[in-house]
Amino acid sequence: MGWSDARKAGALLFFGVAQFALFEMVAEFVYPGYSVSQNYISDLGPPCVNGGGCPSQSSWLIFDTSIALMGIAVILTGILIQRHFKWKPLSGVVILAGIGALGVGVFNETAPYGLHGIFSLITFVGIGLTAILSYKLQKAPLSYFGVILGLLTLAFLVLYIPGTGAEGTAIGIGPGGLERLIVYPVLIWSLAFSGHLMATD
Instruction: Look up the pTM and report it.
Output: 0.90
pLDDT band at 38 (very low <50, low <70, confident <90, very high): confident
Is the pLDDT at 77 greater than 90? The verdict is yes
Query: 181-197 pLDDT, tens per residue?
Result: 999 999 999 999 999 99
Distance CA(95)–CA(92), nearest Å, equals 5
Residues 139-149: pLDDT tens digits?
889 899 999 99
Residue 150 in domain: yes
In a domain, 201, yes or no: no
In a domain, 63, yes or no: yes
Q: What local confidence, expressed as pLDDT, does residue 50 receive? A: 54
pLDDT tens-digit profile of 155-190? 999 887 765 555 555 567 888 888 899 999 999 999
The total domain count for the chain is 1
Considering the chain, what is the average pLDDT of its residues? Answer: 88
Which residue range forms the structural domain that includes residue 150?
Answer: 5-195
Domain membership flag for residue 36: yes
* Number of Cβ within a 10 Å radius of residue 86: 8
**Distance (Å, rounded) from C-alpha 15 to C-alpha 72?**
11
The confidence band for 112, taking pLDDT boundaries of 50, 70 and 90, is confident
CA 139 – CA 75 distance, rounded (Å): 24
- The answer to whether position 151 is within a domain reads yes
Predicted pLDDT at 109: 85
110, part of any domain: yes
Q: What is the mean pLDDT of residues 78-105?
A: 94
Query: What pLDDT, on the 0 to 100 scale, is given for residue 54?
Result: 66
Greater pLDDT, 165 or 98: 98
Residue 200 lies in a domain: no
pLDDT mean over 113-134: 93
State yes or no: cis peptide before 32, omega within 30 of 0: no
**Sign of the four-CA dihedral 196, 182, 24, 99:** positive
